[in-house]
Amino acid sequence: MIDFSTLSDFGNIQADVSLASRTTLGVGGHAAWLFRPSDEMALIQAMKKIPEDTYVFPIGRGSNLLIADDGIDALVLDLGALNALQTDGVQVVSGAGSRMSKIAQRAATAGLSGLEFMATVPGDLGGGIAMNAGAFGQQVSDVLVSIEVLSRDGQVQNISRDNLAMQYRYTALPQGSLVLSATFSLVKKDAEEVKQAMRDMRSKRSATQPLNLPNCGSVFKNPEGDFAARLIESVGLKGKQMGKANISDVHANFIVNQGGASCADVLGLIRLAKNTVKQETNIDLEPEVKLVGCTL
- Rounded Cα gap, residues 296 and 291, in angstroms: 8
What are the residue ranges of helices labelled H in the chain?
40-47, 100-109, 125-130, 191-208, 228-234, 263-281
218 catalytic? Reply is yes
Q: What is the DSSP string of 224-262?
A: TTS-HHHHHHHTT-TT-EETTEEE-SS-TT-EEE-SS--
Residues 123 and 102: beta-carbon distance below 8 Å: no
- Rounded Cα gap, residues 145 and 115, in angstroms: 13
Catalytic residue among 98, 101, 218, 248: 218
169 catalytic? Reply is yes
Catalytic residue among 146, 169, 185, 202: 169
The amino acid occupying position 199 is R
CA angle 50, 66, 18 (to 5 degrees): 60
Residues 262 and 255: beta-carbon distance below 8 Å: no
Residues 122 and 192: beta-carbon distance below 8 Å: no
Q: How many helices (H) and strands (E) does the chain have?
A: 6, 18
288 catalytic? Reply is yes
Task: Give 279's contacts (C-beta < 8 A, 6+ positions apart).
Answer: none
Active site residues: 169, 218, 288
